[in-house]
Each structure stands twice: as structure tokens, then as C-alpha cells.
Structure 1
Amino acid sequence: MGIFPITIILAAFLCSIVAGFLFAFAIVTMPGIKCLNDSEFIRTFQVMDRVIQNNQPIFIWVWVGATVALLAATVLGLGQLNWDGKLLLAFAALIFLLGVQLPTLIVNVPLNNRLQALDVDRLDASALKAARESFEPDWNRWNMIRMAFASVASALLMVLLFRL
């Protein structure tokens, strides 16, 4: 097996893990902490997000690795695939980059950082409520969008693998 199929397999695997991570947040984590009061919700999210922001190594390898593997596969695929395969791979890469990575950078991470900056012990009930209301709906909406795009990109990569 050559480097190109290995790169596609790695990209599909890592993109699928990213999709699964976003899926778990969408259907378990966020619904699970939704029932907490505002202070508990913010603290809980801060703790979870801090694990990621402190560069949890496995998370970083998967999140960044998915993008690197996908870009490497796309470049390698230019010389390896027919026109349909190139389109499929390019579409998967665009979907992942524009539908997962871009919203992460311009929406979810800034929302996370805004929540991280809060000192829960110094905020009154109305400030906690306002902070949560300005965070939770947007974060959840964009997480669902990222999850959908990551899933589509993973599925396209799997289709491509079956066609090799």
C-alpha cells in the first residue's frame, strides 16, 4: 500500500473522530449540562474547555492531524485520482475546512474564550444568566453545523476509499 491510500485512511479516520467528538458534545455533553444552573453550567464548560485549551495532546493530534492529513491527501490525490476522485476529495477538504475548522476559529473558540474570561464568583445571577444566554444557543447551533459538515466530509472520504 502506498503513501496516498494511507494518507486517505488517516484523514478519514481523524475526520471521523472529530465528527464523533462534535457529535458527543451535541447529543450528550451540552444536553447533560443544560440542566445545571447558570453558575454551574459556566463553571462546567470552563473546566471542559480548559482541558482543550491547555493543549490536551491527544485532542490536538486528532484535531490538527485531521486537517493536516486531509490537506496532504488532497495534494497527493492530484496525481493519483481521476477527475471524479479529485472532485470528491476536494469537496471533502473544502467541507471540512470551511464547515468545521473555520467556524471553530471564528465562532466557537471566541465564544469559549469569552466564557473563560468570566469569574463566576464575582457575577450576580442576572450577569450569569446573560452570559449563558449569549453563549449557549450560538455555541450549540454552530457545534451542530460543525458536526454535520465533519460527518459529511468523513462520509465523502469513506466513499473515496471504497472507490480506490
Structure 2
Amino acid sequence: MALLFRLSLSISLILVGGIFGFFYAYVASGINGLNTMAGVDAINAMNAINGAIRNPIFFPFFFLPPVVCFIACALARVNMRPTSAIWLALAGMIYLGGGILITMLVNVPMNETLMLVDTVTINAQQGDEIWDAYARDWYFWNVWRTVLSGIALICVGNAFFRA
């Protein structure tokens, strides 16, 4: 059981760290890079990114962190590591609310709405206006996903150091 606990704890660290890095990349450069493009081009690029993100590489890093954190939490309790269990439970809950829920309730609906924009029939000014509104709101919520997944990562790190 101790080996399973260590393994699940390590996988938690990798998964939460990976998704934190993914969100952070958008904060640091993704949207900023798209903001240098004409609105119509940025819309087309973001739509392409959003279409490509649904893949088997992204799936475990997005959906599995809370699952693995909760498994590690249960194993921490079995292995008499109550402090680690608390940190892992916190990490799973924070990421579940701050990563998955924000994404599903805010970012995905915004992405789906952006996919409906017919960039062939709008003019440059309309494209810029649509992109500016989308990018501003999407960036705001992505910063929250980044901060909260970073806090989840700190929680997993605390669990790791207390194991």
C-alpha cells in the first residue's frame, strides 16, 4: 500500500503540475500572441486550437487530477498520513472547482460561441470587436484557472513533503 500511495502521489504531482503549466502558458503567451493578430485571424486560430485540444494527450491532464488526488488521499489515510490526506483532498477539490468547473461553465461555452462566428462574412472591425471581447473575458477566467490550479499544485507539493 505504501508503494501505491507514493505512486498515486507522484502521479498527482505530475498531472496537477502539467495542467497548471498548460493554463499558465495561455496566461504568459497564448492569448497575448493571438492578440497580435487581426481579430478574424485570431478567431480562426483560437477555433483551430479549441478543436485540436480534444485529444488523448490532453484528457488525462485535464480530467484526472482530482481523481488521482482523491485516490492518493484515500491511500494516504490508509498509510497513516493524515496531513498528506488533507492536502490531497484540498488539491482535488480546488482543481475540480477551479479548473474543471470554470472550464465547463465558462470557457467551453465561450469557445462554442466563438466557433459560431462566420469569419468569412464579417468585416475586420467586427472581427476585432468580437475577438477583443472574447479574449478579455476568456483571459480573465483563464487567469483564475491558472491561479487555482497553482494553489492545487502547492497543496499536492505539501502532501508530497509531508508523506
Q: TM-score, normalised by structure 2?
A: 0.90
Tell me what 1:9 maps to. Answer: 10
The more displaced of 82-91 and 35-44 is: 82-91
Tell me what 1:58 maps to. Answer: 57
Structure 1 unaligned residues grouped into runs of 5+: none
CA 1:117–1:71: 2 relative to 1, 3 Å: farther
Tell me what 1:32 maps to. Answer: 33
User: Residues 11 and 68 of structure 2 are in contact (CA less than 8 Å); yes or no, is this contact kept in structure 1?
Assistant: yes
User: Residues 65 and 92 of structure 2 are in contact (CA less than 8 Å); yes or no, is this contact kept in structure 1?
Assistant: no
Superposed CA RMSD? 1.7
Q: TM-score, normalised by structure 1?
A: 0.90
1:75-154 paired onto structure 2 within 5 Å: 75-154=74-153
User: Residues 70 and 88 of structure 2 are in contact (CA less than 8 Å); yes or no, is this contact kept in structure 1?
Assistant: no
Structure 2 counterpart of 1:155, one-letter code: I
Tell me what 1:158 maps to. Answer: 157
- Residues 103-161 of structure 1, C-alpha deviation per residue, up to 9 Å, x if partnerless? 01101111111111212102233432332233111100111111111111112111211
Tell me what 1:48 maps to. Answer: 49
Structure 1 counterpart of 2:149, one-letter code: A
- Residues 22-45 of structure 1, C-alpha deviation per residue, up to 9 Å, x if partnerless? 111110111111111111110111
3-state secondary structure, aligned to 1:120? coil
Q: C-alpha distance in 2, partners of 1:77/1:83?
A: 7
Are 2:56 and 1:70 aligned?
Answer: no
The more displaced of 21-30 and 59-68 is: 59-68
Structure 2 counterpart of 1:127, one-letter code: Q
Identity rate, percent? 23
Q: C-alpha distance in 2, partners of 1:71/1:121?
A: 47
The more displaced of 67-76 and 14-23 is: 67-76
Q: Cα offset for 1:82?
A: 4.0
Structure 2 counterpart of 1:161, one-letter code: F
User: Residues 70 and 89 of structure 2 are in contact (CA less than 8 Å); yes or no, is this contact kept in structure 1?
Assistant: no
Q: Cα offset for 1:10?
A: 0.2
Structure 2 unaligned residues grouped into runs of 5+: none
Q: C-alpha distance in 2, partners of 1:93/1:18?
A: 13
Q: Stretches of 4+ moved more than 6 A in 1? A: none
Q: C-alpha distance in 2, partners of 1:22/1:150?
A: 8
* Number of residue pairs the alignment of both structures matches: 162
